[in-house]
Structure 1
Amino acid sequence: MGNVSAQNFTDSNLPIVIINTDINPNTGQPTEIPDDPRVLATMKIIKHPDGSRNYMTDQNNAAYLNYNGRINIEIRGSTSQLLEKKPYGLTTLLADNVSNNNVSLLGMPSENDWVLNSFAFDESLIRDYISYNLARAMGNYAPRIQYCEVVVNGDYRGLYLLQEKVKSDSNRVNIVKITDADNAMPNLTGGYITKADKTTGDDPVAWNMASYNGDVAYIHDLPKPEDVTAAQDTYIHGQFSSLQLVAGAGNSTITNGFPSKIDIPTFVDYMISSELASNVDSYQFSTYFHKDRGGKLRAGPIWDYNLTYGNDLGEPSRSGYDVWQFDNDDNTGSKFWKDLFDNPTFKCYLSKRFHDLTQPGQPLRHQSLVALIDETVALISEAEAREDQRWNSIWNWTAEIDDLKTWLNSRITWMTNHLGAYTACSNVAVPQLVINRINYNPSTSSQFPVSNDQEFIEIKNAGSTTVTLTGIYFSQLGISYQFPNNSTLAAGQSAYIASNMTTFQSRYGFAAFGQFTRNLSNNSQKLMLSDAWGNVIDLVEYDDESPWPNADGNGSYLQLISTSLDNSLASSWMASSASLGTQDFAIASLVLYPNPVRNIFTVNSSARIDGVQVFDSLGRIVKSTTANSETVEVDANDLVQGVYLVKITSGHASKTVSIVKQ
């Protein structure tokens, strides 16, 4: 172990990151870490698995090393580079010093690109930490972060945040990685990560867009600037230009206005995160957008929240509690931000969302924020003392934290008073569309050898009136599909959305309604059906493990027992292998009596009945009878009073009806 300068750092309640760069053959000394190019190094992360205290002397004990391997590393950031304490970007590598090493660091999902955040200009040491945690608590992806203390080449560098770099990954920004071969529809539609940002470094400006006080520079992040093709640049630039045009014209129609082009909830939440923090960089710098293949343009994830919550580089502070950052004549970003806010319907949803998030028990309630701050302060309190000893950069930490809490209270009050009413978008009626079948891992055969091509989702209209499907879409990343304008679905009818319409028709014998982009997860996935404004119509998060029925590659699919059940519950589903081409019994051919029942009920059909199953209100099978007759009697004496569902099967056909036990 080398001598640690500035102070005798020996142990911590936090993980310890030790980085030693390779020896420079010309000087015989460890290589200095530059801005560019990256240099090679070895990194060890000391983290006791049981959560007990970590010691520098643990660095040679494999049992206590969360990571022990090669990296490349550079100084990162823009203004933050001016400070003596530097932020770093690093990639975990295999022993060949070239290949990326996807690995889990400190419990975060496996990847290879990481950032060591140095808290530039933030004496509280918590602004980024609480902001990213709040964004995730709101249901959005934000970089995962872990506090740590860092030693570089024997020099104690203080407290840092080890955090995920923004990039395309199923556990980060869950979009398709576009390649230079994707230059025609539909592949040209995504996925993209684009940012409004400073033009520091070698990344060229892709295009400039007008703001209400200047221009905003946009930079390609995915694909990388050096890899983007002319067709891709034109396409994604066009998405932003189209948004600017329709938002500026106040076009909020769901057919061709801004709700048809952007994912409203992500833009609403991005503005809430930015404005709650009064982030002086938001909209103009470090502002990410992403768009999946076949999907809408989405705002986020949030990034770079050091100049926030009343903290700024200059005086007087631009990060006031009583100003809108999109409309303060400084770093306001593209015009569409203010234009969206000025639209009454968008502003209504913004106000409603902020109201909901500030209710008791919600993440943006002041009491919740104070609790998060206090928990964070307790976690890093001893490291803060060492940080200040090393850099002499914290004037009065207690006062800084107290001021932050007070500022947040003022900010929440001001925003609540200036967002306006939200009654017009409260309790919005949504159609009775139900996710009724999910085939997420179809079995293969010689005729259909590709499982992914056989996937489907059935959407059923469980209401009594025809539904116009304009604007309705799957709003969670993972798959993309938006119903065509003016399409309809009659009461009781179903729309099958397939992964491959040609394969679907060949296997199932009829045409699918539409085709979604990407594929369903074979493990677990959240499927959210929303209207054009983001109001949730139906939500199912299926899983391939118990208590969910086994429909994982065995020839079965998930079937909702009845549309009257809560399809968010595993108990409301069963595994079915019934043919999709066979219709339910005609109502006239099936009679169940008496209903209500006291003792025995009878099922009579013009077709042969193969079986009868009775389900309770939780979707559990409480009776099951096999048969081979047009008439079946079922003993209901042992059923408790209540409502039950009775499923009658005949061959591959079935029908489910409700019955009341008295």
Structure 2
Amino acid sequence: MIMKLFQYPRLIVSFRFIFLGMLFSLLACQEKIQPDVLPIGDDGQVFAIDVGDSEIPYLVINTNGADIPFEPRIPATLKIYEGKKLKQEQRIGIEFRGKTSFRLSQKKGFNIETIDGTGNSVNVSFFGLPEEEDWRLVGHVVNLQEKYMWDQTLMYNDVGYELSRSIGKYASRTRFVELEVNGEYLGVYSFMEKLKRDTHRIDVKSLNANSTNLSGGYILTIDKTSVGDAGIGKPLSYFYSNWDDDARYTPENGFRSQYDIFGNLIDFEPYGPPYHANMYLETYFLYEYPKDRNITPAQKEYIFRYMHDFETALLQDDFSKGERSYVAFVGLESFADYFIINELCRNVDAYRLSTFLQKDRNGKLEMGPVWDMNIGFDQGDRIPMNGWVMRYNNFVSNDPWMIHFWWPRLMEDPEFRKLIKQRWTNYRNGPLSDIALTRLVDKNADYLEKNGAVQRNYAKWDQGIGVNYPDAVRNLKNFLTQRAAWMDGEIMGF
């Protein structure tokens, strides 16, 4: 056959030209389409995934090969792209965040701090939000080993915080983003403000060691404890199993109420070992501002005494006789609004965990802001649809973190119930109407879906779980309208 081909040299030449022509055409075609195939930013940054012409900001974090610890933060660079165009570049410090969510989820959250060239913190604005140095990247919980996922809609926190802002209460402002860390695409996250003292966030007066007016401002939390400085230098593996550190209360990080969850004086010593037999009876108030390393003994004594006097008044007032001395200590409207938002969202952690309180200088104790709703809404299976979250103790026994006596006691006050009814009725005619609730969910879902972020996120994370995003969105809307209807019936009877 080969010999026969040599008898026809023109045929060989023809084949050669045809082959070369095809090769050049292929190369030319490849060269022509290459810029559209490779996901490259306008600065030459190669993305881990092609986001097309998505309007959702795409964040690229690079630690230059260093492993991210739980703490302390390590230096990194953050780039923010919109439509593959670099919009902002910033030096940051980064670490993992979360307690239970960190241990359970393969989709980790991050704390980031904006820093300058020398590593010092610097206030920076992102997405038009007020300047600050501390920010959060929060994703939904995905457990690939046990095949479960919290918040398949990707928006629980965003919806809850927006509902709070819609009734005039500050909550962390958020932006949907897609995140890449060290070349790995991690999916949809909420980029959000850290809750901290700031004129644009929790707006209480500053308080330092030289302050002569001890009345404020203070920020307290009811929450699990953080490992703090004790965790520095420990390997990352330690943080996957350090459950005891969640319940390691000390005189340095906070103080215990002198009353138990039933309103009885506690007759055993505080600061026992984690998960001791009577821990479920205790409620601790942690120092958020001033931080435990900064708060002075005089400030500790002031806020401890203020909280004790409030609790004592609440317990001793005889509502049937019109006694309501406890209102001298609290801004009751904030308590009513905190109740309304957390109950509407069926936030299982409300009142007992991730709970913020604040007291401004010369002001009263206020509840909020709301925080951490990843097991709220239709995910909150410990509380039935027709049950109050503030009645958590009726549904769950001996949880290490139960609900303090405040809320059942407050509901015994007819004036507090009346206040809730007034405010709920007003909100239902506006920001918490069925139309407003469903419109908010649809707005977020449409934004994520039309930009392809839902598909990209679940191509990464739906590994045998079986996510149906339209169903998840529909279930969230149904939950909100049904929960609101149930609350209508209950509150109208207050």
TM class by smaller structure: 0.7 to 0.9
CA positional deviation for 1:397: 1.3
CA positional deviation for 1:11: 4.9
Letter in 2 for 1:239: Y
Partner of 1:494: none
Cα distance in 1, alignment partners of residues 136 and 75 from structure 2: 15
Partner of 1:257: 325
Higher strand share: 1
Q: What secondary structure is seen at the aligned counterpart in 1 of 2:432?
A: coil
1:220 to 275, 279, 287: 287
Aligned residues with identical type, % of pairs = 30
1:95 to 106, 112, 117: 117
- Indicate yes or no: 2:197 matched with 1:141: no
Higher RCO (Cα < 8 Å, 6 or more apart): 2
- Indicate yes or no: 2:375 matched with 1:349: no
Q: How does 1:160-559 map to 2 (within 5 A)?
A: 160-182=189-211, 184=212, 187-202=213-228, 204=250, 205-209=253-257, 210-212=260-262, 214-250=281-317, 257-312=325-380, 317-329=381-393, 330=396, 332-359=402-429, 362-381=430-449, 382-392=452-462, 395-421=467-493
Q: What secondary structure is seen at the aligned counterpart in 1 of 2:485?
A: helix
Q: What secondary structure is seen at the aligned counterpart in 1 of 2:282?
A: strand
CA positional deviation for 1:263: 0.7
Q: Which deviates the most, 168-177 or 213-222?
A: 213-222
The CA deviation string for residues 238-276 of structure 1, in whole angstroms up to 9 with x for no partner, is 222222222222356999712111111111100111111
Cα distance in 1, alignment partners of residues 301 and 423 from structure 2: 34
CA positional deviation for 1:4: 5.0
Over 3 Å counting, the alpha-carbon distance change for 1:35 and 1:251 in structure 2 is farther
Q: What secondary structure is seen at the aligned counterpart in 1 of 2:390?
A: helix
Q: What secondary structure is seen at the aligned counterpart in 1 of 2:379?
A: coil
CA contact (8 A) 2:219 2:359 kept: yes
Cα distance in 2, alignment partners of residues 8 and 88 from structure 1: 23
Letter in 1 for 2:483: R
Cα distance in 2, alignment partners of residues 248 and 398 from structure 1: 48
The CA deviation string for residues 476-517 of structure 1, in whole angstroms up to 9 with x for no partner, is xxxxxxxxxxxxxxxxxxxxxxxxxxxxxxxxxxxxxxxxxx
CA contact (8 A) 1:251 1:258 kept: no
Residue correspondences, number: 390
Cα distance in 2, alignment partners of residues 211 and 304 from structure 1: 22
Q: What secondary structure is seen at the aligned counterpart in 1 of 2:171?
A: coil
Q: Which deviates the most, 206-215 or 79-88?
A: 206-215
CA contact (8 A) 2:107 2:140 kept: no
Cα distance in 2, alignment partners of residues 174 and 357 from structure 1: 24
Letter in 2 for 1:71: I
Structure 2: runs of 5+ lacking an equivalent? 1-43, 142-149, 229-248, 263-279
Partner of 1:78: 99
Q: What secondary structure is seen at the aligned counterpart in 2 of 1:12?
A: coil
CA contact (8 A) 1:250 1:343 kept: no
The CA deviation string for residues 25-81 of structure 1, in whole angstroms up to 9 with x for no partner, is xxxxx111111111101111124xxxxxx11xx23xxxxx1x312110111111110
CA positional deviation for 1:3: 5.8
Partner of 1:116: 137
- Indicate yes or no: 2:96 matched with 1:68: no
CA positional deviation for 1:9: 4.5
Cα distance in 2, alignment partners of residues 306 and 85 from structure 1: 13
Partner of 1:12: 54
CA contact (8 A) 1:282 1:332 kept: no
Q: Larger C-alpha radius of gyration, 1 or 2?
A: 1
Partner of 2:159: 130
Cα distance in 2, alignment partners of residues 240 and 134 from structure 1: 28
Partner of 1:513: none
CA contact (8 A) 1:2 1:154 kept: no
Cα distance in 2, alignment partners of residues 8 and 306 from structure 1: 28
Over 3 Å counting, the alpha-carbon distance change for 1:274 and 1:395 in structure 2 is same
CA contact (8 A) 2:314 2:324 kept: no
Higher helix share: 2
Cα distance in 2, alignment partners of residues 247 and 14 from structure 1: 48
CA contact (8 A) 2:114 2:124 kept: yes
TM-score normalised per structure 1: 0.57
1:36 to 71, 74, 77: 71
